[in-house]
Amino acid sequence: MDIASIVKQAAATSVAGGGQSTLTFSDILRVKERFAIGKNHESLALHLVAPLKGIIDDGASPGSKWNGIPLLKTSAVPINSVVINCSTSISPVAALEHLHASGFKSVVGFNNLVITANGELAWPGFVRSFHREMDTQLSSWQEIYDSLSDDQSQMTFLDLVRFRYTSNPEFMRGYRVRLHEQYFESFMDYSNEVFVDAGGFDGDTTEGFAALYADYKKILFFEPSVKNMKAAKQRLGDIDRIQYYPAGLSDTKGELNFNEDGGSASSIKDTGDCKISVDTLDSLVHEKVTFIKMDLEGYELKALHGAKGHLRRDRPKLAIAVYHDSSDFRTIFRFIQNLDLDYKVYLRHYTQGWSETVMYFKP
């Protein structure tokens, strides 16, 4: 399959489809009853050029606001309103289906507005980064596709190429949100593992792993946030054979700024609300490891560099998040391939949007 042709076809079919209205940016500027679904950079950018009367959020408290925009339950929005689907990260398809099931007739995709806004609206960041990848790294993306080990990986890859190029939810209709299944794919044949949970957050992945693969030998749990580590120890209190490391993983030892209030998306930042210690897996762990999971909010490549000794000696199974930036697909794939460890490569996706894509490497 030629990736350049896939991109070209996706761009040609990106304006409408999937139940989205063909209203243009000029059309919605003339509408008074204008709302959105999705609280993110896209809805905020839209609000700045086409002020919204509110954002649909059925979980919001009465009278609450987000960045000054009222948050409303679906039932409080007039049914003849125009609603812009700004959901892109987790469930854009479910958002679209919810709006149609609720009776709204004028549902416009944010992607459609960008195309017709004559520069007044920018593509979402994940689309902009993917356009740069296609402009400069197309052959590398073709190599990834050709290297994937099963049909499902290749189909997932093509669907993500289409969606990341256009942000059109139509390309994600075959997906559902299944975060509880993330990292636990049967083709990985987990058994008697020494498991490195890198980016352990509150222990949710470790808890699931211990329940599914009770024959594990040991779990090495890495989490730099004091708050998250406390929550994880409470959650995992009844699970044995866990060794806790209150540190982040990187390519060198040091201290970095960290945004601790991002929940599962807490991450290393140039400016952050606290400092964390980081070190390499090679420096901290001297026993053999057999399975490494990494979701480090974009810091995975640095952490892999710091685990190069384990990768070469132990040849562990790997489940690495590659979704934080489009270049992650390419750079993480290339780093592992350059180690010449003869891995089989798989790809799985766990939402209907751009987030939660995992690349698996199986020896």
53/269: higher pLDDT: 53
The pLDDT of residue 276 is 74
pLDDT-derived band at 272 (thresholds 50, 70, 90) equals low
Arithmetic mean of pLDDT, 120-134: 97
Arithmetic mean of pLDDT, 81-94: 97
Q: Going by CATH, does the domain composed of 15-120 fall within 3.40.50?
A: yes
Residues 278-323 have pLDDT tens digits of: 999 999 999 999 999 999 988 899 999 999 999 999 999 999 999 9
Beta bridge partners of 291: 195, 317
pLDDT-derived band at 266 (thresholds 50, 70, 90) equals very low
Residues 138-187 have pLDDT tens digits of: 999 999 999 999 999 999 999 999 999 999 999 999 999 999 999 999 99
| Mean pLDDT value across the chain | 93
Q: Number of H helices and number of E strands within the chain?
A: 14, 17
Cα separation, 74 vs 153, in Å, equals: 36
Q: Domain 176-321, what architecture?
A: 3-Layer(aba) Sandwich (3.40)
Tell me which amino acid residue 234 is: Q
pLDDT-derived band at 258 (thresholds 50, 70, 90) equals low
Within the chain, where are the H helices? 3-12, 25-29, 41-49, 92-101, 110-116, 125-136, 138-147, 151-166, 204-212, 226-235, 281-284, 300-305, 308-314, 326-338
Please tell me if the domain spanning 15-120 has the same topology as the one spanning 176-321.
yes
The pLDDT of residue 180 is 95
Evaluate if residue 260 carries a pLDDT over 70: no
Cα dihedral 169, 186, 194, 292 in deg (nearest 10): -30
| Residues of the chain above pLDDT 90, percent | 87
Domain ranges of the chain: 15-120, 176-321
The pLDDT of residue 267 is 44
Q: What is the pTM of this model?
A: 0.93
Arithmetic mean of pLDDT, 338-353: 98
